[in-house]
Structure 1
Amino acid sequence: MTIYRVNESRSGQRHLQEWRRRALHTLGQLLLATLAIAIGLIVLDSSGLSLEKRFFAGMWNAANLVTTVGDFSAFNEQQKVFMLVAMFMSVIIGGYAISQLTGLLSSDAALAARENRTMKRILDGLANHVVVIGFSPLGRLVAGRMRAAGDQVIIVEKLDDLSAQASELDYLVVQDDAGLDDDVLKRAGADKARALVVMTEDQDRKLAITLMAHALNPRLHIVATGQNSQRGALLERAGASEVVIADDLVAAELVARLGGKAGPDRQ
């Protein structure tokens, strides 16, 4: 699976715009070079033909030089010397143009922009899915069980290594900090999702994510883990549908197990 990188989306678009600008600039340079070569050949033409025919011959030879087709007409000695210089200049201009354009197209930002376009088409078609914020070990476990139950799961993760791990496990991944920018939640389709699970460990970011997700989609079922009951109450006021306090679950499970073992001894 590919990764939608929210932070690099704008940068990639700027790189593609810069590539288009440079492509137009390069095309202009080639046209000017073609015209300059044609004018030089016309000035040095001693054939005695009409200006119209000399202009056509000059443009023909200049275009053949720039495009490297090589189907030239006959030259006099002065034109041959001029064409030698023009050939070297065309090689320099062409090589510079190619290096500039290919360098931009192969940059990380441009590659990310193309990858983002592919992911955008996929993400835009999703609905009624589950968004899991954070791919920590617990987040990975939750995502795996949700997927095993038949849900389409979107992972939102800000760290490069965890995003790559989620992608390698064939999850759709949106990479950026969901607690800083609601564009991340929008790109993950939180407005169309059926549920959102907040697994990030930063309690303040967890509260911010809950607030933004609830504002984006008031009907969204939001489940979050809480550090304690006070934090849990804050998350519920922020819009969380359910808050799971890990310590309470562990304590309840321990009590249940102890009660189960003590039961036979009392009989």
Structure 2
Amino acid sequence: MWIYRIDEPRLGAVRVREWRRRARHAIGLLVLLLVLATTGLMVLDQSKAPFGSRLFTAVWDAVNLTTTLGDFSDFDVRQKQFMLAAMFVTMLVAAFAISRLTGILSGDDVVAYRENRTMERKFETLSNHVVVVGYRSLGQSIAEKLRRAGETVLVLVADKDMADRAAESGHLVILSAPEVFDDALRHAQLQNAKALVVTTPNGDANLAVTLLAHALNRSLPIIAPGENSLRKTLLENAGATGVVIGDELLADAMMERLAVRTEATS
């Protein structure tokens, strides 16, 4: 899977526009060369053929010149001298065009720009998916369980290494810097999502994500972890439909194990 980057591809877009500008310049130079070659061949053509015929022959020879496919053995000395000069200019123009265009589209920022364009097309049809915010151990476990259950998972992270791991695991990924993470949520198609699961260890960040996600889609089921009953209340007021307190779950699991062991020894 590819990664949608919120803030990185801007330079890639600039580079793509610059490549297109250079490509237009290179094409313009080639067209200018064709026009000059055609004009020169028309001037040097001493035949009595009609103007239209001489023009077509000149254009044909000029195109053959730029593609190096022509056979100019029937030319006189002046025409051959002109073609030699034109061939030299053609090689210079071609070398200039190659030097200006080669490499500009191979940078990481351009690759990210292209990935974003592909991901945007995927987002247009994305629906009924589960958004997982964070991809540490808890986020990885939840995303993997959802994937095994046949769900489409969209992972939102602020760390590049986590984004790479999530993409390698086959998930759709949005990578965003923490200060613009609200943009990540806006790109996550929450209006069409099935649910959102918050898994980061930062309680304040979880509260902010829950609040913004609820504002974007008030009917969206939001599951978030809470450190205590006060945090649970805050998350529920922010829009969380389910808050899991880890200590309570761990305590219940340990009590169940203790009960089983007590029954076994009685």
The TM-score normalised by the length of structure 2 is 0.84
Amino acid at match of 2:226: G
The separation in 2 between residues aligned to 1:178 and 1:242, in whole angstroms, is 24
The separation in 1 between residues aligned to 2:73 and 2:227, in whole angstroms, is 83
Deviation of the 1:133 alpha carbon:
0.9
Deviation of the 1:207 alpha carbon:
2.4
8 Å Cα contact 2:13/2:113 also seen in 1: yes
Residue matched to 1:80: 80
1:104 equivalent to 2:104? Answer yes
Q: Deviations over 1:218-247 (max 9, x none)?
A: 111111123344433332222222222223
8 Å Cα contact 2:5/2:174 also seen in 1: yes
Deviation of the 1:190 alpha carbon:
1.6
Unmatched runs of 5 consecutive residues or more in structure 1: none
Runs of 4+ in 1 over 6 A off after TM superposition: none
Aligned-partner SS, 1:111: helix
1:246 equivalent to 2:233? Answer no
Q: Root-mean-square deviation (CA), in Å?
A: 2.8
Q: Deviations over 1:144-184 (max 9, x none)?
A: 22223332222222322222222222222222247624332
Q: 1:203 to 1:11 in 2, by over 3 A?
A: farther
Residue matched to 1:27: 27
Aligned-partner SS, 1:84: helix
Q: 1:204 to 1:50 in 2, by over 3 A?
A: same
Amino acid at match of 1:63: V
The TM-score normalised by the length of structure 1 is 0.84
Deviation of the 1:217 alpha carbon:
0.7
Q: Deviations over 1:31-88 (max 9, x none)?
A: 1111122233344445576665554443332222123332447333233223222212
Aligned-partner SS, 2:61: helix
Residue matched to 2:194: 194
Q: 1:171 to 1:78 in 2, by over 3 A?
A: same
Q: 1:205 to 1:81 in 2, by over 3 A?
A: farther
The separation in 2 between residues aligned to 1:264 and 1:55, in whole angstroms, is 103
Q: 1:117 to 1:163 in 2, by over 3 A?
A: same
How do 1:18-167 residues align onto structure 2 when only pairs under 5 Å count? 18-47=18-47, 54-72=54-72, 74-167=74-167
Q: 1:209 to 1:181 in 2, by over 3 A?
A: same
The separation in 2 between residues aligned to 1:128 and 1:17, in whole angstroms, is 35
Unmatched runs of 5 consecutive residues or more in structure 2: none
Deviation of the 1:196 alpha carbon:
0.3
Aligned-partner SS, 1:4: strand
Name the stretch that deviates more: 40-49 or 183-192.
40-49
